[in-house]
Homo-oligomer: A and B are copies of this chain.
Amino acid sequence: MAAESQAADSVGIVEPQSLHFPEPIRLESGHTLPEFNLVFETYGTLNADASNAVLICHALSGHHHAAGYHSREDRKPGWWDACIGPGKPIDTNKFFVVCPNNLGGCHGSTGPASENPDTGRPYGPDFPVITVRDWVKSQARLADRLGIDQWAAVIGGSLGGMQALDWAIHYPERIRHAVVIAATPRLTAQNIAFNEVARRAITSDPEFHEGRYLENNAIPQRGLMLARMVGHITYLSDVSMGEKFGRELRDHAYHFGFDVEFQVESYLQYQGVRFSESFDANTYLLMTRALDYFDPAREFGNDLTRAMAEARCRFLVLSFSSDWRFAPEHSQKLVNAMVDARRDVSYAEIDSDWGHDAFLVPNERYESLFRAYMNRVAKEHGDAG
């Protein structure tokens, strides 16, 4: 039996790479990181004039492993394997795809769990707050090092879509297309509230040790688990949870107690535990705060149209009907500002029951729109491989 990694539409076995950036980077907060590493993966081949490069920006709990497998035994591909590969919407026969782990992350790029060169100990809570702008700035340095002056496209879902937007506004000459999926030009009070619950769950866990859990050989597992449970509910929809679990009982009968009774409880606990074993708590705080702070209109007098007028690229904006985290109205506001700023934008609301997570779930219309748009992007650089 052939491994999944040998499927014709898979990028196959991939290997993460890492680059060290020895120059200090000044962050939006005013703090400076003296140096940093970015870990990333690439799929496909950069063409001679470096015109076919595509940047994939990950969301809250994502990382650099977006497609393919790390070994033949690896049964689970990268998180966006559904969209990246030969013949897939982001076609690796046509594009050179770059996906970094964000600064502040916990999968190899410099983050709170990394050693602070000033102290020789983990940064922990001393790692500065990172914003979407900071990520884009660090990604621009990565592009420099890879010899990419201009991305054919910057693409992302959710928090990743915010990075694509920020690229468009702050590096207008370095991006030809931005694909902004299930994103928002800024969080609502409800969005911020859910993030705050997640953060509070982590920071109020006695094992958090004010962020110095690593030095205390501890992990705020209960807090991370709760944070993930809350997050997970907001990524799904009432409908998709209903279809997946309904009120199904784990054991056909009521037991009148507080152990797991309904399937949905069992699922959430499983997801929570798994997450708490693999994700860094300080990174979770940073990522959710970056979401809260994102508000590109802010520096343009709270005028999103003025912000969008900075952009020179073309846009594809996609939203999903059952997404109640960043509902289609969020994308519509964004599109309205783009239109008002006379930007070139294609927009579609995709029918899906999968809530916010729909951007990761195979869906015929989604794939066909995405593929058609990316084919046009590819045409601009003559399908060069």
Contact = CB atoms under 8 A, between A and B. Distances in A.
Contact of A268 (B197, B205, B229, B241): B197
Given A128-B256, A190-B242, A204-B222, 9 more contacts: A189-B263, A190-B233, A193-B265, A194-B233, A199-B258, A201-B201, A201-B226, A230-B230, A254-B293
Given A203-B258, A256-B30, A292-B261, A229 B189 contact: no
Interface in A164-196: 186-190, 192-194, 196
A91 interface: no
B129 A257 contact: yes
B226 A204 contact: yes
Interface stretch (A40-48, A152-160, A243-251, A356-364): A243-251
Contacts of A217: none
A261 B131 CA distance: 15
Nearest to A200: B226
Given A256-B128, A285-B258, A293-B256, A229 B188 contact: no
Interface of A: 28-31, 128-129, 131, 186-190, 192-194, 196-197, 199-201, 203-206, 222, 225-226, 229-230, 233, 236-238, 241-242, 244-247, 254, 256-258, 261-265, 268-269, 272, 285, 289, 292-293, 295, 324, 327
Contact of A189 (B186, B199, B245, B324): B245
Contacts of A265: 192-193, 196
Contacts of A28: 256
Nearest to A229: B197
A28 to B, nearest CB: 7
A292 B261 CA distance: 10
B193 A233 contact: yes
- Interface residue SS majority, chain A: helix
B229 A292 contact: no
A152 to B, nearest CB: 33
A205 B205 CA distance: 8
Nearest to A206: B206
Given A256-B28, A258-B285, A264 B189 contact: yes
A237 to B, nearest CB: 8
Contacts of A295: 247
A265 B190 CA distance: 10
B190 A241 contact: yes
B188 A238 contact: yes
A23 to B, nearest CB: 21
A99 B207 CA distance: 43
Nearest to A237: B190
A225 to B, nearest CB: 7
B247 A192 contact: yes
**Residue of A196, A233, A289 with most chain B CB atoms under a 10 A cut-off:** A196
A197 B230 contact: yes
Given A129-B256, A233-B194, A293-B254, A225 B204 contact: yes
